Amino acid sequence: MGDRGPVTRIIYSKVHRVSLTEAERDLLPFFEAIDQMPPDRRRAALFAAIRGGQGAAQSELARTESGKAGRAIDAMLDAFE
């Protein structure tokens, strides 16, 4: 046990920036609501949303890109982190 409870081993950590455009306006209330939550509840809400939506995202996850295009996109995304 650590000072704050049981020690948890992190298996993945990544920060993603989210910017909404007019096309995603319907998501604005969700993001505004989770911004007001304490960090532990915010994390739980985000994971619940991800778990609930991961099936809907399968088509995006299954899309393949050429290796060169994929590396270029990854480099651009990494530049914004």
On whether residue 65 sits in a domain, the answer given is: yes
On whether residue 19 sits in a domain, the answer given is: no
The mean predicted confidence, pLDDT, of the chain is 84
pLDDT at 80 over 90: no
On whether residue 63 sits in a domain, the answer given is: yes
| Residue for token pair 């914004």 | 80
Beta-carbon contacts of 67 under 8 Å, excluding residues fewer than 6 positions away, are none
pLDDT at 71 over 90: no
Structural domain count, the chain: 1
pLDDT for 5-42, tens place per residue?
A: 778 899 999 998 999 999 999 999 999 999 999 999 99
User: For residues 53 and 48, what is the distance between their CA atoms, to the nearest angstrom?
Assistant: 9
On whether residue 17 sits in a domain, the answer given is: no
On whether residue 12 sits in a domain, the answer given is: no
On whether residue 6 sits in a domain, the answer given is: no
On whether residue 9 sits in a domain, the answer given is: no
Bridge partners (DSSP) of residue 2 are: 5
Give me the domain span that covers residue 45.
Answer: 24-75
